[in-house]
Amino acid sequence: MREQFTTALKDAMKAGDKRRISTIRLITAALKDRDIEARGAGKEQLGEDEILGLLQKMIKQRQESLKIYQDAGRAELADQEQGEIEVITSFLPQQMDEAEVSAAIDAAVAETGAAGLRDMGKVMAALKERYAGRMDFGKASAAIKAKLQG
């Protein structure tokens, strides 16, 4: 994925796409920060799953900012956030649809033997291990909770 960021940055520079350039630079800066943290913890570099998690976190932050800007009537800032979301999303693998998410949750519940809400963490851990970057875990969490409750 790191090579993918480098290639995308070069392409954006050649095309003169300022928004894409700045967003990719934000991604690489966040990635370097996390690599430094990982080195302090004794790890070499972030793995693919951790990079995908970082991208999802960046998207979530921008979605929250987008909502705030829209509510405040700041269209130009909302447009900037939306553009950044689109660029970051372009680096994520194809997202799972609702049917796939539901099937994955059912499989994880069966595999972990989850019987109640106390087992929700086990199910989430199993899903994060297999579907990092492909699933919105905020929405999945609500679906898991509903399934385990009733």
Start-end of CATH 1.10.1510.10 domains in the chain: 2-89
Q: Which phi-psi region, left, alpha or beta, contains residue 92 (left: φ > 0; alpha: ψ -120 to 50)? A: beta
- Listed in order, the ranges of the chain carrying CATH 1.10.10.410 are 98-149
Most confidently modeled of 30-44, 49-63, 71-85?
Answer: 71-85
* Tens digits of residue pLDDT in 132-141: 778 878 888 8
Confidence of residue 93 (pLDDT cuts 50, 70, 90): confident
Report the share of the chain in percent with pLDDT over 90: 43
Q: Could you give the angle at the alpha carbon of 114 between the alpha carbons of 111 and 118, nearest 5°?
A: 145
Token pair listed for 72: 């405040």
User: Closest Cα partner for 51 from 76, 70, 64, 32?
Assistant: 32
Domain 2-89: state its class.
mainly alpha
Domain 98-149 has CATH 1.10.10.410: yes
Q: Which amino acid is at 92?
A: L
Q: Quickly count: other Cβ atoms within 10 Å of residue 150's Cβ.
A: 5
Predicted confidence (pLDDT) at residue 10 exceeds the cutoff of 90: yes
